[in-house]
């Protein structure tokens, strides 16, 4: 078990974007949209929880390096099936910030769930995924569109 | 914004079970199954990360109560499409442990992602969901089977 | 140095209320009231930071007992001289929650300062004080009004 | 809600100094001066709590960047009206350490309060304020003397 | 990997005492005794670090239950070969506090080491051990004297 | 009490290696070797706890600087008298990582103790010590062999 040594890597600008969503019942979503949630403002709480969780990533993910994040932005938006979360994390460091972006979206989704669970325990957190990363030796990575992804998955299965 | 007062509730035995999975490419899954992962034992790390994260829940989810967990068990198992995680959390307290179980599965999935990401950045964390809860005023709740859930969702949309 | 033993005390309902305020320049306050702050919603962020900090009290205040908080509510309100914060914390435990309430108001004020500091570095956090506590052996305590307090202070100095 | 991106800023030497005080009854202050406090050495505990809290700043203040502090010094001194706290924090980083210095003085004051509260619940934490900062794009800032400040406040109110 | 379920156990008074020591060079010890240490008061810092670490035990020891500690006392004393640490931890809970007492002495010893390491990197933390525990199903346990322990160890080896 | 200013030091490659061991009864060690421990895989849990604790060092050791660790590796190995732990920590920073390596071995040993304590409360954590460090102004330091150390200790006592 080791946190791999990144001491030899260069400090470069790194960016990661992750997304996820909380699927919920239409009436739950209406309560969010109309601000009728007993515990308070769901979207604001989720955004803040996401930003704060990005900073806690190395406490949660055992082999993650502690990283000096230079910027974190979390968006939480009502969509058709529920609430969508998008986190963008930046650093100038020796290793990437994919885990920070993914942790931020998880925490934001968990916060959405927590604030609404008394109305709708069946909500599902879905599609927690990296959308894009840049910087570092492995360079740019961007998620293929759903169609491309299905093709790729097929090839991978062969 | 408030952490709702649960001081008037009785301390009762409470249980929550949550599940999630990390969908990955077949070759990534093979590396897990065959123990060929540079960072170490993926399944053991994910299990431990899950247990530890359950205890950090009130630090991550802003309006969650701090709870004296009496037991946490996390299972991480390779399945056909990737790795499946199941967390069971127990307490004898004034409020439920749904968030602890969901946080545990998120952290376990994030740990799986972290240890495999250099091979497969496209992995997706899916279906983070409560399966069952018992104890407390709202009593027992069990997730409907997928078929039932689809029916319910339809009715909800009407 | 010791965290005094409270094992012999009874678990009773306990409540503490603390307040504080951030004094700021009128133009800074206007920016808050009008929602023109680059970093986001100051009042929502401060409220949430207050609730979360209440839970971190034993990590910050060395000899504080870890306490199972049953409720926390933080209000952050623009007033004439700046922003006023009020935290109400409840527990059913062996020791009081004065420190949790005071820590919550400090964190909320620090958050207000942080989000506005690029406009107004001279802001001052003032009057961080307990207003009321009840429960436990020492019973009810309520802060005297300002007039009474000045009288008392005089007597104390004699 | 976002932690603003500082990736484009230069790493420079930065310093911040903050102060605060805990106003207390004369007999409480005498107990501190004479070392007659049941919980232990108040001044030593407050100093240490201040240093440790400086390091926890990004956990408490939601939109604060995690910063590699290069030095922290906290002084806790009995004065006429109670106990005065002064924190000096240094870094070589992309953003300032004002919040770290303010958090340090808050935690030191809270610790003073905690150790003395059984004698004097009416203590007030006052004048938590930045005294000086240097480094970074905004350069040097020094708090005006009380007289100057009153003048400025008047002008600001016009 | 699991945090075993203690929900069925009774809440009883529990106590644990642990000790350890930091062996150091005589000149290092003299610096401690004479208060000539650049970083500050070694004994006070170590005591406080011990108390605070007891509260962090479930964050450090993966399968430890979060426990509502009712009292913690840490003593740090210069002895012939260096500095001796003793921690006494109490709770009224479903599981024991051995780990809290052991974690407290470890953190106190690490703090002693940290404050003196520039003088004496060869210091050794020794004999981190439980001395006594009481409460709970397994009842009272007291460490045998060194002579008895050696005998026992022999028997164990047969 | 201060965290000494290291802002003037150069960022250089730094390495520290620490070791420790948990002495236990032969039958306890057999249970570890044969994987018959109710709480789960002792060696994997201890390794992970060590890595994670290295990252928490500045939270536990009051005057330790927060450091961007670039690599951490923890080995936990059954030996004749019990379980031996070795941690290797690397950074490219202004101050050394001795405390991180020592904290990692302490946490790994505490985890071993925790998972086995129901069988053997008499286990002792021994010889928590730095083995080697390099980098920084004070350069390379390597622990003398036991024979050399005894000689040195004698000279030190004169």
Residue B69's SS3 state is: strand
Question: How far is C-alpha A119 from the chain's CA centre?
Answer: 24
C59, closest residue in chain B (CA to CA)? B59
Q: Is the dihedral of CA B145, B148, B150, B153 positive or negative?
A: negative
| pLDDT score recorded for residue A153 | 58
Q: What is the mean pLDDT of residues A27-40?
A: 95
Q: What is the 3-state secondary structure (H, E, C) of chain E?
A: CEECCCCCCCCEEEEEEEEEEEECCHHHHHHHHCCCCCCCCHHHHHHHHHHHHHHHHHHHCCCCCCCCEEEEEEEEEECCCEEEEEEEEEEEECCCCHHHHHHHHHHHHHHHHHHHCCCCCCCEEEEEEEEEEECCCCCCEECCCHHHHHHHHHHHHC
Contact state of C41 with A40 under an 8 Å Cβ cutoff: no
| pLDDT score recorded for residue D158 | 44
Contact state of A48 with D4 under an 8 Å Cβ cutoff: no
Contact of C82 with C113, CB cutoff 8 Å:
no
Q: Quick one: B153 exposed, middle or buried, by C-beta within 10 A (0-12, 13-18, 19+)?
A: middle
Contacts (Cβ under 8 Å, ≥6 apart) of F99:
E110, E113, E114, E117, F57, F61, F64
| Residue from F24, F27, F50, F61 to probe the interface with E (highest E Cβ count within 10 Å) | F61
Q: What is the mean pLDDT of residues E132-153?
A: 82
Nearest C-alpha of chain D: how many angstroms from F119?
36
Q: What is the mean pLDDT of residues F31-46?
A: 95
**Of D64, D152, D89, D106, whose CA–CA distance to C24 is shortest?**
D152
D73, closest residue in chain E (CA to CA)? E39
Separation CA B96–CA E47 (nearest Å): 36
| pLDDT score recorded for residue F158 | 44
Q: Quick one: B132 exposed, middle or buried, by C-beta within 10 A (0-12, 13-18, 19+)?
A: middle
| pLDDT score recorded for residue B111 | 98
| pLDDT score recorded for residue B131 | 98
**Token pair listed for A94:** 């020796």
What residues of B are in the F interface, CB distance below 8 Å?
40-41, 44-45, 47-49, 52
| pLDDT score recorded for residue A45 | 97
| pLDDT score recorded for residue B1 | 79
Q: What is the mean pLDDT of residues D10-16?
A: 95
| pLDDT score recorded for residue F125 | 98
Q: At what angle do helices E146-157 and F26-33 cross, to 10 degrees?
A: 50
Residue F51's SS3 state is: helix
| pLDDT score recorded for residue B133 | 97
Contact state of C69 with B65 under an 8 Å Cβ cutoff: yes
Higher-confidence residue: E147 or A72? A72
CATH fold group of domain C12-157: Alpha-Beta Plaits (3.30.70)
Nearest C-alpha of chain F: how many angstroms from A79?
37
Q: What is the pLDDT of residues D136-153, one digit of tens each?
A: 988 999 999 776 666 665
| pLDDT score recorded for residue C158 | 44
| pLDDT score recorded for residue D125 | 98
Determine what percent of chain A is predicted with pLDDT higher than 90: 88
**Token pair listed for E158:** 């047969």
| Residue from E2, E129, E139 to probe the interface with F (highest F Cβ count within 10 Å) | E129
Asked whether this complex has an ipTM greater than 0.90, the answer is yes
Q: Is the pLDDT of residue A158 over 60?
A: no
pLDDT tier for residue D156 given thresholds of 50, 70 and 90 = low
Higher-confidence residue: F6 or B154? F6
Separation CA C45–CA D61 (nearest Å): 9
What residues of D are in the F interface, CB distance below 8 Å?
13, 44, 47-48, 51-52, 54-56, 66, 68-74, 90-92
Contact of A138 with B131, CB cutoff 8 Å:
no
Q: Which residue, chain included where needed, has tokens 């020794």? A: E126
| pLDDT score recorded for residue B138 | 87
Distances (CA, A) of A95 to A103, B119, C72, D147, F10: 16, 15, 38, 50, 21
Provide the 10 A C-beta neighbour count for residue A28: 23
Q: Report the DSSP beta bridge partners of residue A12.
A: A93
Contact state of C7 with E52 under an 8 Å Cβ cutoff: no
Q: What is the mean pLDDT of residues E77-100?
A: 97
Residue D9's SS3 state is: coil
Provide the 10 A C-beta neighbour count for residue C143: 18
Q: What is the pLDDT of residues E4-25, one digit of tens each?
A: 999 999 999 999 999 999 999 9
Separation CA F127–CA E125 (nearest Å): 6
**Of E98, E70, E87, whose CA–CA distance to E11 is shortest?**
E70
Nearest C-alpha of chain B: how many angstroms from F40?
9
**Which residue numbers in chain C have pLDDT < 70?**
147-158
| Residue from F44, F52, F74, F111 to probe the interface with A (highest A Cβ count within 10 Å) | F52
- ∠ at Cα F16 (F12, F17), nearest 5°? 160
Nearest by CB: F128 against E60, E125, E130: E125
**Of F146, F101, F2, whose CA–CA distance to D76 is shortest?**
F2
DSSP string, chain C: -EE---TTS--EEEEEEEEEEEE--HHHHHHHHTT--TT--HHHHHHHHHHHHHHHHHHHSTTPPP--EEEEEEEEEE-SSEEEEEEEEEEEESS--HHHHHHHHHHHHHHHHHHHTTT-TT-EEEEEEEEEEE-STT--EEPPPHHHHHHHHHHHH-
Nearest C-alpha of chain D: how many angstroms from E39?
10
Contact of D107 with D49, CB cutoff 8 Å:
yes
Determine what percent of chain D is predicted with pLDDT higher than 90: 88
Q: What is the pLDDT of residues B100-120, one digit of tens each?
A: 999 999 999 999 999 999 999
Nearest C-alpha of chain F: how many angstroms from B49?
9
| pLDDT score recorded for residue C24 | 98
Q: Kindly calculate the radius of gyration of chain F based on its CA atoms and give it in whole angstroms.
A: 17
Contact state of B52 with F52 under an 8 Å Cβ cutoff: yes
Q: What is the mean pLDDT of residues B18-46?
A: 96
Q: What is the mean pLDDT of residues A75-80?
A: 98
Question: What are the phi and psi torsion angles at E121 (to 5°)?
Answer: -75, -15
Separation CA C122–CA D98 (nearest Å): 11
| pLDDT score recorded for residue E158 | 43
Q: What is the pLDDT of residues F65-123, one digit of tens each?
A: 999 999 999 999 999 999 999 999 999 999 999 999 999 999 999 999 999 999 999 99
Active site residue D114: yes
Q: Is the pLDDT of residue D71 over 60?
A: yes
**Of E49, B18, A67, D62, whose CA–CA distance to C63 is shortest?**
E49
pLDDT tier for residue B147 given thresholds of 50, 70 and 90 = low
Separation CA C58–CA C66 (nearest Å): 5
**pTM score of the predicted model:** 0.94
Contact state of D48 with E48 under an 8 Å Cβ cutoff: yes
Contact state of A125 with B20 under an 8 Å Cβ cutoff: yes
Contacts (Cβ under 8 Å, ≥6 apart) of F55:
A58, A59, A66, F69, F72
């Amino acid at each position: 078990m080791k946190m791999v040594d990144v001491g030899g890597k260069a400090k470069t600008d790194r960016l990661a974007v992750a997304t996820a969503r909380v699927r919920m019942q239409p009436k739950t979503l209406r309560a969010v949209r109309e601000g009728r949630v007993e515990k308070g403002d769901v979207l604001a709480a989720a955004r803040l929880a996401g930003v704060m969780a990005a900073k806690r990533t190395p406490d949660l993910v055992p082999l993650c390096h502690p990283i000096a994040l230079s910027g974190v932005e979390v968006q939480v938006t009502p969509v058709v099936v529920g609430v969508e979360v998008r986190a963008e994390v930046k650093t100038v460091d020796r290793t990437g910030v994919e885990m920070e972006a993914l942790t931020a979206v998880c925490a934001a989704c968990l916060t959405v769930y927590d604030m609404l669970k008394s109305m709708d325990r069946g909500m599902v957190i879905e599609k927690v995924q990296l959308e894009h990363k840049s910087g570092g030796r492995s360079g740019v990575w961007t998620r293929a569109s759903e169609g491309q992804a299905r093709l790729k998955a097929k090839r991978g299965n062969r």
